Structure 1
Amino acid sequence: MRVRAAGVALLVLIGSAAVELPVVAAPALPAANMEAVVKAAQIDPRRPDTALTPGARDSVLLVEQALDAKNLLATSYVDGHFGTKTVDAYAAYQRSLGYTGLDASGLPGRTSLQTLGEGRFTVTSTLTPGARLTYHSATMNTRTKAMLVEAERLLARTFTITQGSYTPGNPDSAGTHDGGGVVDISVSGMSTTLRTTVVRTLRQVGFAAWLRTPDQGFAYHIHAVAISDTDLSPAAQHQAGDYYLGQNGLANRGPDDGPQVTRVTWEEYQRA
């Protein structure tokens, strides 16, 4: 008997008779939805319990199982909840790849997630912040600019950016602007009603946004965090998570004082 591959079948020769047998394909790898994983990585560490982010469990489990296989996460934490232990484990994995600083914050990036999944899972709904650029005289990334442009279009007005992204070292910002996805917007000349409208519109396109006030210890301005920007600093990640949990993004974790909207990411807004 001789066996050889013939296209998608095996040709089995038994004496003078030839029989074709189908080749059984290897099982397809499961898919981890990056949008769901990154959302959970922002929200779950801020929860007071081990509740799961809706729609993220299966994808987070794939990530946690891979981290467990690398002896970076205890099996007891492989539960679909992307809590602080999973964040720490993912940060350790990023460091093992040679990443440092904000690139090893524990928030999954596209390249590290795809590398983690090799042979275990594929990655769908990938996220990328894009290149850094200057918009309205402020530094930000491509994704953040696109979000601002859309908010400006909806409002029919142009923003004045008082602080952009990637600006470490500002003690008044508590580290939120150290990475990408965060901008401060001037409210000079805006009425109270317009300020609220601007915050609402920023939220509608995927920002966690709040009006900061002197009562909170700030000069009046709007602080906006681009949800699920994979360049977010840890402090900004926490603000995005707190926003989903109905909080104000400040150290006191008080109730959200902004206009109520359906909370979405930029990608979800574009699909709506």
Structure 2
Amino acid sequence: MNVSRRSILALPALALFPAPALALAASTVDMEGVLKAAQWDPAKADSAVTAGAGPSVKLVEKALSDRGLLDAAYVDGHFGTRTVAAYAQWQRELGYSGIDASGLPGKTSLTKLGLTLTRIVSVGARSTYQGFPVNARTLAMLRAAQTRSGITFVVEQGSYSPGADPTSAGTHDGGGALDLDAEALTAARRTAAVTALRQVGFAAWLRTPAQGDWPLHIHAVAISDTDLAASAQKQVGAYYEGRNGLANNGADDGPRVSKVTYEEYLRSL
């Protein structure tokens, strides 16, 4: 059967694009963007939407609202504190607890909202490095920073270590957090180390004894690690906002680099 161009143009959109295909496109979420917004937006002084994340965040918020977990007024593309709380409640309803119910979205909980995911972030399996717990993504990031800087890092505190160091304020309870020795490095190499860590996707700072009850070290948090403890998530937000990630919320005193996730770094190579 021959079909003219005029007859095709006269067809309704749903005839050209079947409903299932339209529904799939309408519910597709960029996981990378949602994760970035979930860490950054709560730290903002306003309700600004993270660039590129708004449409995906709205889909997540709409799914939460449909389940009675978030007021419709907050379906706005800004993953603020109310959305974080609503998402944490969703995670608890799924049976999660602890770092798995912090309000930071993961692949399984997003999928169970009925959403289709693109640019999925996975932290991989847990292992140990230099005797400290890490996950595969964090270790790959550390090795990438070592390659960039030419420095072999010495780990002083790893991830998944609840209660190991009270001065860490819980940042090492989940994944993605590392403390690295800085006392053996010259001032120039300390700066090079923090620069390289930031360039591959860590929120990283040099910590000094003048700032707290700790030795000179580098504190690094893997941005968008889905296992981040709540306090580590807040440090990532502070980093994006140009702060130091400490309780005093001081200005970031580290090297100026473009703020990226590990996945963004990999795409830049």
Give the structure-1-normalised TM-score.
0.89
Instruction: Give the number of the structure whose alpha-carbon radius of gyration is greater.
Output: 1
1:67 aligns with 2:61: no
Q: 1:205 aligns with which of 200, 203, 206?
A: 200
Deviation at 1:23?
8.8
**Counterpart position of 1:6:** none
1:52 aligns with 2:52: no
Q: Structure 2 matches for 1:12-91, cutoff 5 A?
A: 25-26=18-19, 27-29=22-24, 30=26, 31-91=28-88
For the 8 Å contact 2:155–2:178, the answer to whether it is kept is yes
Name structure 2 gaps, 5 residues minimum.
Answer: 1-14
Residue deviations 1:197-216, cap 9 Å, x none? 10000000000000000110
Which of the two has greater helix per residue? Answer: 2
Q: 1:221 aligns with which of 197, 217, 225?
A: 217
**Counterpart position of 1:114:** 111
Deviation at 1:152?
1.0
Inter-partner Cα distance in structure 2 for 1:76 and 1:229: 29
Inter-partner Cα distance in structure 2 for 1:68 and 1:155: 46
Deviation at 1:188?
2.6
Inter-partner Cα distance in structure 2 for 1:48 and 1:115: 31
1:267 aligns with 2:260: no
**Counterpart position of 1:185:** 180
1:159 aligns with 2:156: no
Deviation at 1:28?
3.9
For the 8 Å contact 2:151–2:193, the answer to whether it is kept is no
**Counterpart position of 1:104:** 101
Residue deviations 1:98-142, cap 9 Å, x none? 1111101000001101111x2xx4111111111110112211000
Which of the two has greater strand per residue? Answer: 1
Inter-partner Cα distance in structure 2 for 1:189 and 1:145: 21
> Residue 201 and residue 70 in structure 1: after superposition, are their counterparts in 2 closer, same or farther (change >3 A)?
same
Q: Which SS does the other structure have where 1:214 is aligned?
A: coil
Instruction: Give the letter for the 2:166 counterpart.
Output: P
Inter-partner Cα distance in structure 1 for 2:152 and 2:184: 13
Identity of aligned residues (%): 58
- What value does the CA root-mean-square deviation take over the aligned residues? 1.2
Deviation at 1:25?
2.1
Inter-partner Cα distance in structure 2 for 1:135 and 1:158: 13
Q: 1:195 aligns with which of 187, 190, 196?
A: 190
Residue deviations 1:71-116, cap 9 Å, x none? 0000111110000000000011111111111101000001101111
Give the structure-2-normalised TM-score.
0.90
Q: Which SS does the other structure have where 1:139 is aligned?
A: strand
> Residue 126 and residue 24 in structure 1: after superposition, are their counterparts in 2 closer, same or farther (change >3 A)?
closer
1:233 aligns with 2:229: yes
Number of residue equivalences: 248
Q: 1:134 aligns with which of 128, 137, 149?
A: 128
